[in-house]
Amino acid sequence: MTGDPHKTVLDALEAKGRLRTLAPRAGRDFTSNDFLALGESRVLRDAARDALERGVPIGAGGSRLLRGNHPEHEALEDEAASFFGSEAALYFPTGFAANAALVATLPREGDLIVYDALIHASIRDGLDPARISAISVPHNDVTAMEDVIRQWRGQGGGGRVWISVETLYSMDGDRAPLDDLVVLASRHEAMLLLDEAHATGVYGDQGRGLGADYEGAPNIISLHTCGKGLGASGALVCLPRLYRDFIVNRGRAFIYSTAPSPLMAAVVRVALKVCAGAEQERAQLQALARQADDLMKKLGLPPSGSQIVPVILGADTRAVALANALQARGHDIRAIRPPTVPEGTARLRLALTLHVTPDDLDTLFADLAAEMARA
């Protein structure tokens, strides 16, 4: 037998500058998604302690359809539906599981999914091309989406159309054209799936996301992750009750998974209340984003207009070398390489959180300018 094929793959990744390793957190946080710095906050620690003291268990002990369904899950789902303005909500252990479950369960045979080319991997992994048609379109190109839908209808497509986008894209930091997408979905009687992962807690009235004005419409399904702006873990799918009940009955990722921790559900309930009143924190984060935009322009780089700031470098090895240099200067920054991003667009992904100060941001960009000049 020749060499192990797994080692061959890892060796090839290393040669391309794409080998991934697990590294501990160190230095100033420019890489996490804990945008409002709630993950280590006293208020969420107190929420966990209080829940334990009133007897909320750490583990669920089974799936939701067995003994794993806890009152904390149901209370969270009721409060989330009220907070986000949807008819119902369903709590998943991760955003990945929730997204994959949505597209694997709700579209029926003969339907069409049209998704943005930069959509998260969790959507792609849930697609079943043997059962439904799934077509990628260029990023933020609503005209291209409509062309695909019209062509599919013209070729006899008679099912329902499902449109899948992120409201704020995780690697580019730009927004989806939501107004146009809502009009498109209405025109074609389509369902619109909004992944609010990087917008929840940061944008919208009370931090309800960029799609807050549309939440609750019968053709809107939104995903709100709890492990980013909300500082906890898990994900809330907000949707019409009909589709919630369908997932409970047919969603394999929901049916056959141990339920999320009831303790974490209790913590998320508090996180939603904190989020509702975090206007000052959101204003601080937006100020950091504006500062980053100005600093990017001074380097001759395009601003993102959000708390996610990509510094696109192109070559994988250059991104890794620059990340390493900045880490040595005390900044926790990671290189993002294909297949997470398209070929030729390896980058540093700067994530702005309230773990850093305006002075930290100035220092980072001074060091970034110095290292880019050396490269």
**According to the CATH classification, is domain 23-38+279-374 in 3.40.50.11900?**
no
Euclidean distance between CA atoms 24 and 18, whole angstroms:
18
Rounded to the nearest 5°, which phi and psi values hold at 302?
Answer: -75, 135
pLDDT for 1 beyond 70: no
User: What is the C-alpha to C-alpha distance for residues 339 and 119, in angstroms, rounded to an integer?
Assistant: 12
The catalytic residue positions are: 33, 120, 166, 170, 195, 198, 228
Distances (CA, A) of 87 to 75, 80, 108, 215, 221: 14, 10, 22, 9, 10
**Could you read off the pLDDT of 290-326 as tens digits, one per residue?**
999 999 999 999 999 999 999 999 999 999 999 999 9
3-state secondary structure 15-45: HCCCCCCCCCCCCEECCCCCCCCCCCCHHHH
Where do the structural domains in the chain lie, given as residue ranges? 23-38+279-374, 56-276
Alpha carbons 277 and 133: distance in angstroms, whole number: 42
Contact indicator for 235, 94 with CB cutoff of 8 Å: yes
H or E element at residue 11:
helix 5-15
Q: Which residues is 113 bridged to in the sheet? A: 134, 162
- Per mean pLDDT, which range of 6-10, 21-25, 81-85, 100-104 is the poorest? 21-25
State the amino acid at position 332 in one-letter form.
Answer: D
> What is the rounded average pLDDT of the residues 231-257?
97
Over 80: is that where the pLDDT of 128 sits? no
- Closest by CA to 235, choosing from 224, 220, 222, is 224
One-letter amino acid at 231 equals: G
Q: Left (φ > 0), alpha (ψ -120 to 50) or beta: where does 217 sit? A: beta
CA–CA separation, 23 vs 227, rounded Å? 19
Q: Rounded to whole angstroms, how far apart are CA atoms 60 and 74?
A: 13
Kindly state the average pLDDT of the residues 64-81.
97
**Of the candidate ranges 42-56, 103-117, 118-132, 139-153, the one whose mean pLDDT is the lowest:** 118-132
Number of residues written out for the chain: 375
Residue (of 181, 196, 175) closest to 239 by Cα position:
196
Q: Which helix (H) or strand (E) holds 325?
A: helix 316-328
21-30, 38-47, 301-310, 316-325: segment of lowest average pLDDT: 21-30
The string of pLDDT tens digits covering residues 332-375 is: 999 999 999 999 999 999 999 999 999 999 999 999 999 998 86
**Which CATH number among 3.40.50.2300, 3.90.226.10, 3.40.640.10, 3.40.50.300 corresponds to the domain 56-276?**
3.40.640.10
Q: pTM of this prediction?
A: 0.94
Alpha-carbon distance 369 to 325, whole Å?
A: 12
Q: Give the mean pLDDT of 193-217.
A: 97
Give the per-residue pLDDT at 270.
98
Residues 272/83, Cβ–Cβ less than 8 Å = yes
